[in-house]
Amino acid sequence: AEEALRQSQKMEAVGQLTGGIAHDFNNMLAVVIGSLDLLGRRLGASDARAKRYVDAATDGAQRAATLTQRLLAFSRQQPLTPEVVDANKLVPGMSELLRHSLGAEIRLETVLAAGLWRTHADRNQLESAILNLAVNARDAMPEGGRLTIETQNMHFDERYVAANFGVPHGQYVLIAVSDTGSGMPPDVIAKAFDPFFTTKQVGKGTGLGLSQVYGFVKQSGGHIKIYSELGQGTTIKIYLPRFLGEDAEAELPTAADLPLGD
Ligand code: ADP
């Protein structure tokens, strides 16, 4: 719990800092991009070499603008608009997008639990969290592999809570994203949720993906956990609270429905 508090305080501080900087940068980059555009038009076809310099500068400035916009989106503590979500419908609804993002070398598998509980979460944010995890998985499987998305009902009962410090008691919808990729060494696991922590090349990774996913899950009242084995692959488990609506009484689970946590 202390670790979670530290993490969220760090996220907040970094968010405020980057938000201010990104906002100013965005405005300055707009001036740069606009001026380059005007310059490019003036040059016309007369000076091909100068035109190439302008194009290169525009390209760089545009990539910088994309990054600052991502930073802005990250720092803005966007209010979540939670709704009742059936992950067993949401995940298949993303398969087109996922296949496109994963490419031909990675096989996509979904394992959907029968009778899955509904959860209460921001649908768009949940989709972008799953996409973030899938893109990380893809990057960990440059030679191809398998991405599995699994849903499950999870009930953390007293026994489980006692054995797993920090996990509160309750009912959750589990969404697990697994890959058969490189895996993560312990020092990377320890820092993976930190904003700006990345092991990827400059320009390839921002280090904001997992911290965004972490922020969303925590804000939604859920949990997130990384299981990884070097050379074997990685599983990231997201637990979102079960939606207990007006009809909750009618569908209270029986003991047989309640698997122990993992
Ligand atoms: P980014 O993807 O921009 O680097 P993230 O916050 O999403 O930022 O991830 C941080 C780091 O965690 C990555 O650079 C990578 O080293 C590691 N990582 C995340 N997901 C995986 C995965 N599925 N397999 C291996 N390493 C991963």
**For ligand 1, atom 11: residue with the closest CA:** 198
| 6 CA distance to ligand 1 middle (Å) | 20
Cβ–ligand 1 contact at 211 (below 6 Å): yes
How far apart are the C-alpha atoms of 48 and 1, rounded to whole Å? 60
| Minimum CA distance residue for ligand 1 atom 21 | 136
235 pocket-lining for ligand 1 (C-beta < 6 Å): no
Exposed / middle / buried, residue 86 (Cβ in 10 Å: 0-12, 13-18, 19+): middle
Using one digit for the tens of pLDDT, what is the confidence trace for 118-160? Answer: 999 999 999 999 999 999 999 999 999 999 999 999 998 777 7
ipTM of the complex, rounded to two decimals? 0.98
Tokens 């992950």 appear where?
Answer: 87
Ligand 1 pocket test target in 198, 226, 228, 236 with most atoms within 8 Å of CB? 198
- What is the structure's pLDDT at 77? 61
Phi then psi dihedrals of residue 145, to 5 deg: 160, -150
Q: What is the mean pLDDT of each run of 10 residues along the chain (262 residues)?
A: 71 72 84 92 84 94 85 71 96 95 96 97 93 96 98 86 69 97 96 90 83 88 94 97 71 48 44
Query: How confident is the model over 185-211, as pLDDT tens digits?
Result: 999 999 999 888 999 987 778 888 898
- In the chain, at which residue ranges do the beta strands (DSSP E only) sit? 82-85, 106-111, 119-122, 145-156, 170-179, 223-229, 233-241
CB-ligand 1 contact for 106 (6 Å cutoff): no
Q: What number of CA atoms fall less than 13 Å from residue 54's CA on the CB side?
A: 18
122 CB under 6 A from ligand 1?
A: no
Around Cβ 191, how many Cβ atoms within 10 Å?
A: 15
User: Which atom of ligand 1 lies closest to the CA of 195?
Assistant: 6
- Cβ neighbors of 23 (< 8 A, separation 6 or more) are 72
Predicted TM-score (pTM) of the model is 0.75
**pLDDT the model gives residue 47:** 87
Closest residue to atom 8 of ligand 1, CA basis: 207
- The CA distance from 94 to 86, in Å, is 13
